[in-house]
Structure 1
């Protein structure tokens, strides 16, 4: 059955619409589609903001990049990987893994920043286990989609088409579906000459490692060996090697013999990089505080065994943190005895370091008194006023000093009246 639509169109402003100047015309057998017309980059970004859950502070952080002239070998390897000199079929996914504190995130942030300076289009998302509510796999895909759309008009148009074709995609909880609609589909529109890099930092902090949970789904997408992105797209991932990630990584390497996988402890030149860091912070000759001799800086660097976070924390404590009354040499010797290379069956190098610092910061006898007093507070069925707490202090007069100290320092025991809980 023929459909006829008659219209008389009058346009007083501009001539950039459809059928400009037309009048008294008919459509036969017409089929109409709705199109969202966005006239400017500002309109497009607003549309993307409305549809996508963009996490503001999960991107590249200049405060987290590597020190100048450090990690240059691995950074060059990664930046060369995304600039192939031929049309090789090498893997478009690069996995950098290692233990906490070895500098994975610093490398990720540095690579992202340097690629941006080279005019690459970079989508970056840093997971954080202390912000699990917002740093989710779903929000990661939304944030990267927004970043790529804000930086490339063609990708943005692809996103808008996805919203039109699948209006519920913004609220979907399916990682696979979001990956296909928010990343893969818009990617097909991007100019093949443009290099695009997607970076996921700290993938191990993306949620609980449970089967069929969002983290598991994201791992499946990224390490399937085939993520359907165009050849001008690369995916760079940093992570600790937890059980589920190890399992996916083994399958990833099996499926793709050319897979790019790098272990942090296998990176050459790490001791030299850490040495430069320590000299810069601690040696007078390196422009630092002049606290350590260069030979001590080298000893600290080699003892670190690749743990940038370990040596950074040691430098902070040697620079003035921790308990007073201990010489720099005493602290230095103590840290050297608990360095990553020392034997310990249960604690990681960072945990051993933090334990040493905490033990140094608190007097053992004072801690025992503190536990006795705070035990009364925490064990009480109902909040107790200070007068009652003092009556319960039957262990000795030394407890009164603790109560007075807590009255001055802690509002827990300061309710305005000694008889109020």
Structure 2
């Protein structure tokens, strides 16, 4: 076969060592020879003919556009040899098939198709590997990587390498997605100041921003003024202006009515993700930090700031050629001690070109905290009062010009004196003016418009000024009409106490009654009421405070009463519709599946009504926020706990909104202590077992925060059960500790994970009790986890004695039940030998 393709292919590899430039040309000639064999194959062997032509075409196509000099790299020898061996096998198969008798060809025709298909796949792999190696050497320059890998390793690892070398942005973005990003925290152009207003304020602020060269560290400008003075509008405008100047690095608008933004828990993670978006090298640095310590994704804001924002690898990469603006608005709506400490001590550790602006009301505890911080100057220009009446007049006139033509005709009778009166009574409070003009615009009786303005009692106190306006608007409503009074209490009560804003559609579905007519009459005090799918909100935070604490009894809102109303409505919704929703049975997944098996997500269970979604997420919040529950709440809660609670646990895991059951447990202990049967509704083995199994699956899906919460809840339930019952020997207790160890390990806390797994092993039944498959499997898995933790801590030798003991146990059990315990024995042996290799280096 001196002139066969096989010889050509064999000589190709020899030539690559002496004359690299001829290598591909020689292999191409070999492939051409292979194609020559195909000419002798009959129509009955069209699979082989097709394969031969395919090989010839692919090899020759590699020559097209090949960069000069690329074949001079020695690192291509292994991929080329792999390709040569593949061509050799194809050539032999074609040659053998050519020599078969016609009868044998017919008999083996089915196998021929399979063999040709398998060889084609093998050739595609080899050819793809070679092409990728050429691209990597020529374009990316990763010769050192190729030196370390043989061709087999390269097949499995080159994909990951390409992602890291060619697509670092994708890798970084994927890691950054684990950092929580607050929904709705960004700025809104619709909430900015009117053009031409606040010019002096903006001029002074931008002078301060541009004066960063004189600063030694990052500084914070504190804009502090009363409620309704327009602080948030200024903050939105500054974001817009900074964005136009390419200077906006991050912003965060706190909101007491938003579950995403009523605490500072997502402030720093949002800040870091915004900073990472500035430059690719920052993205990669953040990704590297999170790779090394995933626990930072769910750490406290103090730890996130210290270990992420202030990490040396980030500090060195922040832009220094110009300053950047970071804005925090509404600090008083979500501030805590940790955030105050971070602002007073942490921010000043950032480079001086970080210019931070924060807004808040001048609350006493904030004033005390910031007045002695030299890097937190207070903005001196007042935002309300006589100084801003010029801007106020522009604002009021603009509001009237926004009216519909019909409304404009009704208001055309308003003279300049009445507008001036409105401006004067506002005392420079833009929120006051906005609310008053909205009410005037919506007033159906033009003659009452002037009466309304004159009826508002003047006050020197800003808070009283807003209260007087709210009182005047509410007095004009039909309080002698009982259906309105009932609708007001339902609608406004719900809007006041909901954990996140809901639409009028959701409100109607909860109460089974239309809220539209009531909301329309309250239009001057609400937003979002005129669009069924839009979230309904109170106009301003000061209105909530007024309605719940200072309003007359006629229209005061009892928070505790409405918390219980919402708890009842949520439980009714869950009892009636929760399990009916999952028609396909997606939520009722098997908890015994492998931990790494993907968990269903919100998309898998299909669209869920906003009402049901809200009930799933917040029924506990409303239940525990009220006083002693009424009989109807207790009745529906009992039904829910007995029939739907476990199913609900799976639902919220799928939705990604699991939260600790600790508050529910405390509420049951405090309010249901006299009913012994209540303890069993939450504190039972089934619930505890479901929770640690959920934790195991969550860890397998790398959702470590949720895994930690579910494992902690499982342990809490077992602990409470132990107070009145004997559960110390239940297999679920060590399993719960094991699940806890896996969750803690996933968050990067090795010592805590080791403590948890040691508790799990300590609580395992005695050795005679290890006579079931489940017990042995649990024991072996725990020992494997412990060994892995010790390996990570550099203490593999300490794991060997216990792992050897595990092997002995499995070996004894295999004598009696080899089929049942063989897998566990293999697992134990693999672990102990793995540790032995690690311990010996």
TM-score, shorter chain, exceeding 0.5: yes
Q: Distance between the aligned counterparts of 1:83 and 1:65, measured in 2?
A: 21
CA contact (8 A) 2:432 2:469 kept: yes
CA contact (8 A) 2:328 2:359 kept: yes
Q: 2:338 aligns with which of 217, 221, 230?
A: 217
Match for residue 160 of structure 1?
287
Q: Distance between the aligned counterparts of 1:301 and 1:107, measured in 2?
A: 19
Shift of residue 63, structure 1, vs aligned partner? 1.1
1:100 equivalent in alignment to 2:100: no
- Show CA shifts across 1:252-280 (max 9, x none): 2xx45x82434644788411111111122
Shift of residue 74, structure 1, vs aligned partner? 1.1
Q: 1:125 to 1:250 in 2, by over 3 A?
A: same
CA contact (8 A) 1:48 1:146 kept: no
Give 1 or 2: higher strand fraction. 1
Superposition pairs of residues 317-328 of structure 1, within 5 angstroms: 317-321=439-443, 324=445, 326-328=447-449
Superposition pairs of residues 118-133 of structure 1, within 5 angstroms: 118-133=245-260
Match for residue 322 of structure 2?
194
Range 222-231 or range 110-119, more displaced: 222-231
Superposition pairs of residues 312-391 of structure 1, within 5 angstroms: 312-321=434-443, 324=445, 326-334=447-455, 337-339=456-458, 341=459, 348-363=464-479, 365-366=480-481
Match for residue 415 of structure 1?
none
Q: Distance between the aligned counterparts of 1:343 and 1:235, measured in 2?
A: 30
Superposition pairs of residues 254-269 of structure 1, within 5 angstroms: 255-256=374-375, 259-262=377-380, 264-265=382-383, 269=387
Shift of residue 22, structure 1, vs aligned partner? 5.8
Q: 1:82 to 1:352 in 2, by over 3 A?
A: same
CA contact (8 A) 1:158 1:187 kept: no
CA contact (8 A) 1:197 1:233 kept: yes
Structure 1 gap ranges (5+)? 1-7, 26-33, 208-214, 375-405, 413-420
Q: 2:421 aligns with which of 299, 308, 314?
A: 299
TM-score calculated relative to the size of structure 2: 0.37
Match for residue 237 of structure 2?
110
1:206 equivalent in alignment to 2:322: no
Partner SS for 1:51: coil
Shift of residue 44, structure 1, vs aligned partner? 5.2
Match for residue 251 of structure 1?
372
Q: 1:319 to 1:124 in 2, by over 3 A?
A: same
Q: 1:224 to 1:49 in 2, by over 3 A?
A: closer
Shift of residue 313, structure 1, vs aligned partner? 0.6
Q: 1:81 to 1:369 in 2, by over 3 A?
A: closer
Match for residue 31 of structure 1?
none
Shift of residue 9, structure 1, vs aligned partner? 6.9
Q: 1:122 to 1:302 in 2, by over 3 A?
A: farther
* Structure index of larger Rg: 2
Q: Distance between the aligned counterparts of 2:395 and 2:484, measured in 1?
A: 41
Shift of residue 184, structure 1, vs aligned partner? 2.6
Shift of residue 120, structure 1, vs aligned partner? 0.8
Partner SS for 2:379: strand
1:184 equivalent in alignment to 2:310: yes
Q: Distance between the aligned counterparts of 1:122 and 1:228, measured in 2?
A: 17
Q: 1:56 aligns with which of 165, 177, 183?
A: 183
Q: Distance between the aligned counterparts of 2:401 and 2:418, measured in 1?
A: 9
Match for residue 271 of structure 1?
389
Partner SS for 1:235: strand
Shift of residue 103, structure 1, vs aligned partner? 0.3
Q: Distance between the aligned counterparts of 2:346 and 2:295, measured in 1?
A: 28
CA contact (8 A) 1:123 1:197 kept: yes
Shift of residue 45, structure 1, vs aligned partner? 6.0
Q: Distance between the aligned counterparts of 1:50 and 1:91, measured in 2?
A: 27
RMSD: 3.9
Q: Distance between the aligned counterparts of 1:70 and 1:306, measured in 2?
A: 12
Shift of residue 219, structure 1, vs aligned partner? 1.2
Shift of residue 95, structure 1, vs aligned partner? 0.3
Q: 1:187 to 1:77 in 2, by over 3 A?
A: farther
Partner SS for 1:261: coil
Q: 1:259 to 1:292 in 2, by over 3 A?
A: same
- Show CA shifts across 1:16-65 (max 9, x none): 2533586489xxxxxxxx99936447515632542211123110111110
Shift of residue 159, structure 1, vs aligned partner? 1.6
Structure 2 gap ranges (5+)? 1-76, 80-132, 150-159, 490-510, 517-564, 566-631, 633-841
Q: 1:145 to 1:23 in 2, by over 3 A?
A: closer
Superposition pairs of residues 12-161 of structure 1, within 5 angstroms: 12-15=134-137, 16-20=140-144, 23=147, 37=164, 39-40=166-167, 43=170, 46-84=173-211, 86-89=213-216, 92-161=219-288
| Equivalenced residues, count | 348
CA contact (8 A) 1:141 1:179 kept: yes
Q: Distance between the aligned counterparts of 2:273 and 2:454, measured in 1?
A: 50
- Show CA shifts across 1:193-248 (max 9, x none): 032211110011115xxxxxxx2111111123862001111111001122321221
Q: Distance between the aligned counterparts of 2:471 and 2:267, measured in 1?
A: 34
CA contact (8 A) 1:102 1:264 kept: no
Q: Distance between the aligned counterparts of 1:325 and 1:291, measured in 2?
A: 8
Partner SS for 2:476: helix
Q: Distance between the aligned counterparts of 2:148 and 2:445, measured in 1?
A: 91
Give 1 or 2: higher helix fraction. 2
Q: Distance between the aligned counterparts of 1:202 and 1:218, measured in 2?
A: 13
